[in-house]
Amino acid sequence: MPSRFISIWFPNLATDRQIRVRPELYGLEFALAAPERGRMVVTAVSAEARALGIEPGMVVADARAILPSLIVLDDEPEVTRQALQALAEWCLRYTPTVALNAPDGLILDVTGCAYLWGGERAYMNDLISRLNQAGFTIRAAMANTIGTAWAHAHYGRLGAIIPPGEQHNALLKLPPAALRLPPETLEKLQKLGFYTISSFIQIPARMLRRRFGEDLLEKLNKALGYSQEFIEPIRQAIPYQERLPCLEPIVTATGIEIALQKLLEMLCTRLVKEGKGLRKSVLSCFRVDGKTQQIDIVTNRASHHIKHLFRLFELKIKTIAPGFGIELFLLEAPEVEDMNVTQETMWDTTGGFENAAITELLDAVIGRTGTDTVHRYLPDEHHWPERSVKTVTSLREKPHTSWRTDRQRPVFLLPKPESIQVTAPVPDYPPTVFSYQGKVHYIGKSEGPERIEQEWWLQQGLHRDYYTLEDQEGQRYWVFRLGPYSEEAEDKKPEWFIHGFFA
């Protein structure tokens, strides 16, 4: 499939933006000005002011001499750049690849997108009409190359669509400026009488290079498609995505569900063919007022089960505010994983996380309660208790070591040991009483000590002597004394900490 690009030019972007912010300026002669070399210079003018002879680059005093009623406003280039960025983000509803062509243009890679609107002409008409309705003056053109699209957007007919492979013929009648050449090169071409591209396009490359430099040949080759031109999109395109434009704006939850079901079928069919499943998916709803609504889901393991994924999204559909209607749905899968082909059986006797029903149940719990409510832990090869457990995000990850079973460990381990007050008959014996969070616990049974040394290659410090304690209420705790007891320093009592709780 040949590449297709659209170049969009906003010739009056600064003034159009002012009219959108201040509608009372519509139809008036006004100009934007900025300081330059100690004087105010016109940077942009409204169409009405331009018709009366006011041009960008004029000194404000001269412009007011020509048109005393001219309204002069301070220019804000940064705000205009922000407006161009906002327009680029709005155009993401038409293609996943949109790039800025500063200071007043955009480049859209629309390869494979036009069929969703019923063809290239319908695609272009819809894009141009919506931008015009939003209050922007635009010129746009479509071609196989960025250079040809840019040339016709700036110097060709409005809304031109250059057929594939017709770049050469499409450029012949355009002026040399359509090749995006610097002013000094254009001046040389003008002096030699090269007023159109057709007047020099047949000249041998070595002669053009010797006379005009490498830049002319480079721009010409890019426009003709002999060399490739790259763009830097405002957002990296996600490989796995499906789009669904709407003939009429969708305003009901039922309509959203139907669109979502169709998008999931399209996306999961592709994932099945490629042996993959999604771990995260995002549904974007582009509204007619330019705003976007988003919901997302995550799964504990790769999945292309349409019904399961739909149920996860269904929990969040009610959070979508359609406003005056949704005109385009976009379903993306930014995180995918390979999936093994599994054979269906009459009974699924698989246990643990290999059982799809268990992982789908976890997905549903996370969908209702949030991603921070379910965690998975695996053993890690460390003696220090805080480091002996690690959190993992994937259910497919296998432990590199086994859980320790020769010693009892608490069900709940504090992320950081907390200090306690202890009474012991001899300081290096198990406690008989300890106080924790304002409550006094009298110990009935105890077991220990178990000494755990620091891992010297990770951290230096004192060892710990751990005890398992059971109070008179039958509750069990895991506590430790930090460092050794020394009879020579009786005034310095050892510190005690609580680190975990048994069931």
pLDDT tens digits along 421-468 = 998 877 668 899 999 999 999 999 999 899 998 888 888 888 999 999
Q: Is residue 297 part of a domain?
A: yes
In a domain, 396, yes or no: no
**Together in a domain, 186 and 55:** yes
Residue at 385 is within a domain:
no
Same domain, 130 and 224: yes
The pLDDT-based confidence of 479 (bands split at 50, 70, 90) is: very high
Q: How confident is the model over 164-177, as a mean pLDDT?
A: 95
- The first and second tokens of residue 205, run together, are 């490359």
Q: Residues 84, 10: one domain?
A: yes
* Residues 29 and 149 reside in one and the same domain: yes
The CATH number for 158's domain is: 3.30.70.270
In a shared domain, residues 164 and 63: yes
In which domain, by residue range, is 338 found? 241-356
Are both 201 and 280 inside the same structural domain?
no
User: Which has more confidence, 210 or 370?
Assistant: 210
In a domain, 331, yes or no: yes
Q: In angstroms, rounded to a whole number, what is the distance separating the alpha carbons of residues 214 and 453?
A: 70
Phi, psi of 393 (to 5 degrees): -105, -20
Please check whether residues 229 and 250 belong to one and the same domain: no
More confident: 366 or 341: 366
pLDDT at 196 over 70: yes
Regarding whether 230 and 262 lie in a shared domain, the answer is no
Asked whether residue 400 is domain-assigned, the answer is: no
> b/e string for 137-167 if b means 16 or more Cβ within 10 A?
ebbbbbbbbbbbbbbbbbbbeebbbbeeeeb
* Count: domains in the chain: 3
Please check whether residue 399 lies inside any domain of the structure: no
Residue 344's pLDDT is 37
Closest-CA residue to 294 (of 334, 331, 257):
331
How many residues are given for the chain? Answer: 503
| 256 and 326 fall within a common domain | yes
Looking at 204, 237, 270, which one is the last position of a domain? 237
The answer to whether residue 201 scores a pLDDT higher than 80 is: yes
Q: Are residues 14 and 154 in the same domain?
A: yes
Do residues 245 and 233 share a domain?
no
Same-domain status, 229 and 276: no
Q: Is the dihedral of CA 477, 482, 486, 489 positive or negative?
A: negative
CATH number for the domain spanning 325: value is: 3.30.1490.100
